[in-house]
Structure 1
């Protein structure tokens, strides 16, 4: 509780901003879904077959996993608010349509006949009889959709739309339960508050409810338009993969760019996703810069007949050349440290089976139950290549997010995990890193990746970001990761402290 109150006190402004983002996403999505679903139900209320088809379509859409839906939308509409709203609307249409249709088609037929006998037109019968009687069902559908939207909107943080999901993801990645509780509890409170608001809306007449909804649309749209018009600065979006280390790096980029170029505003998108997710976003122009590793470029992003060299300099030059020729991407100079893959086991496992190298796993592979990061489990420079190079076949493999796999090995759920050479969890959980005795893993040096067009438009970025070239040792990064992941310090603060202590920032 003390840690929660400390976060609320020191990060109150950021939390309020995240609540505002979450409310904005939820309200806009709900309004759009209602505008689509309610008229559609009215149109189809006398067309039973078409209504059943529509219900089946909306039901199928709801079965699509939210992360998969976001992944599909990114190449089409980019990242941020737009794909998040589209996804939320898709999930919210079904309960609103279903309840509205049910409410309109279960009205007592005698009331319908009486309205016709009194000479009411189709429009008047809808407004005076059918919609008022169906209103409790409609409101129930809107309430269900609202709860669903608020819960699902937490995933919007994965694609840079902000909201309370930022704290949930950050809590998971940094093993900070206080952040996780803050994000989850505030999301639950929002659901309760909006539920009460929808109940109040249901007590209004249909006309008054429409006026309230229209007013909300105008206010939200007007505020968004005002911010867009008044923002005269050049804005760049710098994103990072899941974890504390990418978040530290993107905050370094942000501080250096904004310090050297006050006319440029940098938005950071932490915990954005896996490698392919980020690279697609960079290609589509949804983000402008992100830190990528040389070994990952050669193994996962570019096509090359040459294998990665064990020389960091040669690996970087090969990656830089391939990115430029194949994707028109600019790859700036790398930092000093290498964040290569490794495999780690518990001390008990290493001692019991006399395991010191990756080759030693061959003798006990039927006893190995591995927990791997999704990237490591799929990429050529991860388990697929490792399995071929060493001839390994483990008893079982589970994929899980980076921070979770360390918890899994600590709790005995798995006995081997992949990791990175700069991970602080190796020390925190007393793990043994196995030696890569066949030199499978290529060099992994981090460097800023961006489009050639961005560098042409803003050549000053090269000088600014190259200030990090050859800086940040492996020890430096281990210490910074430890401060964020274990000590729960803010990545932005840790990044700024490093830049100042090394004379890169005033």
Structure 2
């Protein structure tokens, strides 16, 4: 409990930002779903065949897995808030449409006949008779949709839309239970609070409800207006992938850029998502810079056959050339460390079976119980290619990055994929096996940006190039350890390194 409270105190600013993002996404989606579903249900009441088809359609839409839906939307509308809101609207349609339709369709026919006897027009009967009677059921549908939206909105963090899901993803990635609990509990409390608020609207007097609605709209609108005002000056937006290492790097970028030019405002978007999400955001001008790896560029972002056994310099030069030719992007000079893929086992398993290289795994193939990330399993420079290169016949369980380390520490698996700078290698005393066939490409980190942005901001290029050739694999693993295990903030760890290595002229923290 003490650790949870301390984490909450340290992260209160981030939590307020995430709460505001989550609230904005959720309420926007709810209002849009109501605007679509309620009129559609009213229209369908007099058209039973259409109503049945619409009920089936909204039911089918709700069965689409949320990750699949987000994946389908990204090529159409990019990443960030827009696809998140669209997905949430789609999930909210069924309860609102169904409850509105049934609430009106199931009104006692004698009441409808009485309204007709008084010669009420269609609209007058709707607003004076049908909607008031159906209102409790409509409100129930809205409450159901709201709870569904708030729970599902945690996935918005996967595509750079922020929200409370950021805490949950961080908690999973860093095996940090307090962060996970903060995200989950906050999401649950928000759902309970807003559900109670919707119920209050149902019983409140019209004037009170109108005033409260106006306050909510003013708050949301005011936040949006302030955001527009605050962004009148040019800002540089830097994003990072999930994990401590990208978080450390983007904080270094921020420090170096702001030290170079005091008039530049840098906005950070940590834990923005996976490689393809950030690359899409960069192409669509949603971000300006993010840290990428030379090997990832060649394997994931550009087209072309890659020669085998390239040196680190050759890998960088080829990645830079293809980015320039195929996407008009610029990859700045890389850092020293090579955060390549690797295979790791426990120190005990290594000793028992005298393992030094990946080739040695052939001798113990029948004893292997691999647990690996889904991305590694599916990549040609991952398990697919590795099995061919080393003649291995193994099947790996797919696991979340942090969970595979926990599983190997408890003996549930005995072989994992890893990155050379993972802090968990030190934390769990894991041993890397030498890539004796030189299968894995070089993965050196470097800032990626559009060529046009680099041309317009030479001072930013100069600032970031100070990291060229800096940071060893030991340095990076130690910094990851400080963030993941010792729970220091990425910003403080980044600043301490820059000051220690004289890359910042300002004093230490």
Give TM class, smaller chain.
over 0.9
Aligned to 2:462: 463
Cα displacement (A) at 1:210: 6.5
Cα displacement (A) at 1:268: 2.1
Aligned-partner Cα distance in 1 for 2:461–2:393: 45
Distance verdict in 2 for CA 1:207–1:66, change over 3 Å = farther
Judge which range, 57-66 or 417-426, deviates more: 57-66
Structure 2 residue 324 is matched with structure 1 residue 324: yes
Aligned to 2:88: 88
Aligned to 1:374: 374
Aligned to 2:42: 42
Q: How many residues align?
A: 505
Distance verdict in 2 for CA 1:311–1:428, change over 3 Å = same
Q: How does 1:436-447 map to 2 (within 5 A)?
A: 436-447=435-446
DSSP 3-state at the match of 2:441 = coil
CA contact (8 A) 1:371 1:397 kept: yes
Aligned to 2:480: 481
DSSP 3-state at the match of 1:470 = coil
Q: How does 1:62-461 map to 2 (within 5 A)?
A: 62-204=62-204, 209=209, 212-213=212-213, 216-394=216-394, 396-461=395-460
CA contact (8 A) 1:239 1:250 kept: yes
Distance verdict in 2 for CA 1:59–1:280, change over 3 Å = same
Aligned-partner Cα distance in 1 for 2:69–2:288: 22
Could you report, residue by residue, the CA deviation over 1:459-500 in whole angstroms, capped at 9, with x for unpaired residues?
A: 222101101111111111011000111112221221122122
CA contact (8 A) 1:344 1:419 kept: yes
Aligned-partner Cα distance in 2 for 1:306–1:108: 72
Cα displacement (A) at 1:211: 6.8
Distance verdict in 2 for CA 1:46–1:16, change over 3 Å = same
Aligned to 1:60: 60
Could you report, residue by residue, the CA deviation over 1:382-405 in whole angstroms, capped at 9, with x for unpaired residues?
A: 1111111111120x3222221111
CA contact (8 A) 1:173 1:485 kept: no
DSSP 3-state at the match of 1:496 = helix
Judge which range, 493-502 or 273-282, deviates more: 273-282
Aligned-partner Cα distance in 1 for 2:205–2:155: 35
Cα displacement (A) at 1:217: 3.5
Cα displacement (A) at 1:90: 1.4
Could you report, residue by residue, the CA deviation over 1:356-415 in whole angstroms, capped at 9, with x for unpaired residues?
A: 321122233343232222221222211111111111120x32222211111122233322
Aligned-partner Cα distance in 1 for 2:72–2:497: 38
Could you report, residue by residue, the CA deviation over 1:259-297 in whole angstroms, capped at 9, with x for unpaired residues?
A: 323333222222222222322222232222111111222
Cα displacement (A) at 1:21: 1.7
DSSP 3-state at the match of 1:393 = coil
Cα displacement (A) at 1:16: 1.7
DSSP 3-state at the match of 2:149 = helix
Could you report, residue by residue, the CA deviation over 1:149-183 in whole angstroms, capped at 9, with x for unpaired residues?
A: 11111111222222211111111111111111111
Aligned to 1:504: 503
Distance verdict in 2 for CA 1:83–1:47, change over 3 Å = same
CA contact (8 A) 1:483 1:489 kept: yes
CA contact (8 A) 2:26 2:150 kept: yes
Q: TM-score, normalised by structure 2?
A: 0.94
Aligned-partner Cα distance in 2 for 1:160–1:150: 16
Cα displacement (A) at 1:193: 0.6
Cα displacement (A) at 1:11: 2.7
CA contact (8 A) 1:340 1:421 kept: yes
Distance verdict in 2 for CA 1:103–1:154, change over 3 Å = same
Aligned-partner Cα distance in 1 for 2:128–2:112: 11
Judge which range, 339-348 or 439-448, deviates more: 339-348
The Cα RMSD (Å) is 2.0
Aligned-partner Cα distance in 2 for 1:231–1:301: 30
Cα displacement (A) at 1:325: 0.9
CA contact (8 A) 1:358 1:435 kept: yes
CA contact (8 A) 1:234 1:263 kept: no
Could you report, residue by residue, the CA deviation over 1:219-275 in whole angstroms, capped at 9, with x for unpaired residues?
A: 423431342034322123222222111111111112222332333322222222222
Aligned to 2:494: 495
Cα displacement (A) at 1:80: 2.3
DSSP 3-state at the match of 2:396 = strand
CA contact (8 A) 2:159 2:277 kept: no
Aligned-partner Cα distance in 2 for 1:289–1:231: 17
Aligned-partner Cα distance in 2 for 1:14–1:300: 32
Judge which range, 101-110 or 199-208, deviates more: 199-208
CA contact (8 A) 2:357 2:436 kept: yes
Aligned-partner Cα distance in 2 for 1:61–1:325: 40
Judge which range, 351-360 or 185-194, deviates more: 351-360
Judge which range, 35-44 or 207-216, deviates more: 207-216
Q: Which runs of 5+ in 1 are unaligned?
A: none
DSSP 3-state at the match of 1:343 = strand
Distance verdict in 2 for CA 1:90–1:213, change over 3 Å = farther
Aligned-partner Cα distance in 1 for 2:163–2:262: 26
Aligned-partner Cα distance in 2 for 1:422–1:230: 37
Q: Which runs of 5+ in 2 are unaligned?
A: none
CA contact (8 A) 1:92 1:146 kept: yes
DSSP 3-state at the match of 1:342 = strand
Judge which range, 366-375 or 54-63, deviates more: 366-375
DSSP 3-state at the match of 1:163 = coil
DSSP 3-state at the match of 1:344 = strand
Could you report, residue by residue, the CA deviation over 1:429-478 in whole angstroms, capped at 9, with x for unpaired residues?
A: 12222121111112211001111121122222210110111111111101
